[in-house]
């Protein structure tokens, strides 16, 4: 069975566009990790046969996203209030993936000391590349 990696591929492409984004691999397990300023903003792994993307989210936004998208659930192996998991699904559009990756990145950047921020999270408006 071929796993649908569309969401993972789109999320990775968007993360690569973000200033100061660093892609690493976890030493144990099958996890890919994206960081800004040394802080994690995105993880990717596979749950039994299903590739997923795990992102930081504002708690109220996370609740709304879970209620309105069947392919979005609580953060897998993360704080269930502040992280979401995205699975491939018909209700997940590329623009939504771009927005959620960018929002996760900005939440992490906003928590960094000002001198360590790759961008100003209050004014950042980088648009994703058109595919």
Model pTM?
Answer: 0.90
Instruction: Return the bridge partners of 74, or none.
Output: 84
The larger pLDDT score, comparing residue 129 to residue 65, is at: 65
CA distances to 35, 43, 59, 111, 125 from 86, in Å? 18, 11, 15, 23, 23
At 26-82, the pLDDT tens digits run 767 788 999 999 999 999 998 877 899 999 999 999 999 999 999 999 887 777 789
Instruction: Give the tens place of pLDDT for each residue, 72-125.
Output: 998 877 777 899 999 998 889 999 999 999 999 999 999 999 999 999 998 888
Closest C-alpha to 37, from 110, 130, 123:
110
User: Is residue 129 over pLDDT 60?
Assistant: no
């Amino acid at each position: 069975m071929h796993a649908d990696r569309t969401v993972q591929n789109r999320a990775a492409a968007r993360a690569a566009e973000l200033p100061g984004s660093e892609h690493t691999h976890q030493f144990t397990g099958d996890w890919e990790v994206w960081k800004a300023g040394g802080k994690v903003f995105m993880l990717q792994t596979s749950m039994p046969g299903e590739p997923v993307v795990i992102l930081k989210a504002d708690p109220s936004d996370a609740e709304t996203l879970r209620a309105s998208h069947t392919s979005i659930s609580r953060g897998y192996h993360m704080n269930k209030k502040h992280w979401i998991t995205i699975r491939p699904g018909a209700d997940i559009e590329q623009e939504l993936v771009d927005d959620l990756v960018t929002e996760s990145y900005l939440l992490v950047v906003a928590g960094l000391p000002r001198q360590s921020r790759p961008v100003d999270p209050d004014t950042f408006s980088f648009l994703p590349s058109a595919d």
